Amino acid sequence: AQKVTQAQTEISVVEKEDVTLDCVYETRDTTYYLFWYKQPPSGELVFLIRRNSFDEQNEISGRYSWNFQKSTSSFNFTITASQVVDSAVYFCALSEEEGAQKLVFGQGTRLTINP
Amino acid sequence: DVKVTQSSRYLVKRTGEKVFLECVQDMDHENMFWYRQDPGLGLRLIYFSYDVKMKEKGDIPEGYSVSREKKERFSLILESASTNQTSMYLCASSLAIGTRDYEQYFGPGTRLTVT
């Protein structure tokens, strides 16, 4: 069965600090897809990134970077030089089906960036 | 931009009432989804639909039903609301399998309180 674990329930840092959100997944499939979503206070989940299991390259997008390691079944998310606007709940998710028909979400990590 | 709208942001209903939650998307997406979000549990899939009049059970369908009579609209129905259905309900939509950009796009959520 597939499962996603985000062990960090809440993280609080001071602005400009770097912060890493952990995501560990379980799946028996060799083909799967991993996602990160951001949920700001407005409530609407915002898509951040999708990775398939055959692409282990790390990705960087501005201050955001993702580290995918199949050896440890992890897909961690790092925010560099955090800003107050990064405060949100972040979800990691897994799909074993192409097209992301069914996503399994982690519990979410609430990130608070203090000025 | 994809837009997913939900009929209400906040809803208060009494135990035993029949409750309808409506979701509309404007990007001609084939797939639509209903999740509930609870603290510490992340998002859990209730039902999804990959075509008009088609539906499939998610992980927690008990106590819920759905209706999809038109492609753009997906309704979640609580036949007899109970207090344990107090939660945040999120609707999402996505393109069909085989398309490149199949991430799910989310609505703002409906916070339902059953008293």
- B91 close to B106: Cβ distance less than 8 angstroms: yes
* Residue B96 DSSP symbol: P
Mutation target among A34, A103, A107 for the B interface, most CBs of B within 10 A: A103
Q: Which of B106, B72, B73, B70 is nearest to B89 (CA)?
A: B106
- Work out the number of other CB atoms within 10 angstroms of the CB of residue B107: 22
Which of A9, A43, A97 lies closest to B109 in CB terms? A43
pLDDT tens for A34-46 read: 999 999 988 889 9
pLDDT tens for B31-65 read: 999 999 998 899 999 999 989 999 999 999 999 99
- Are A100 and B92 in contact (CB < 8 Å)? no
User: CA of A45, closest CA in chain B: separation in Å?
Assistant: 6
Q: Which residue of A has its CA nearest to B40?
A: A107
- Are B41 and A103 in contact (CB < 8 Å)? no
Side-chain half-sphere exposure of A8, counting CA atoms within 13 A: 19
pLDDT value at B72 more than 80: yes
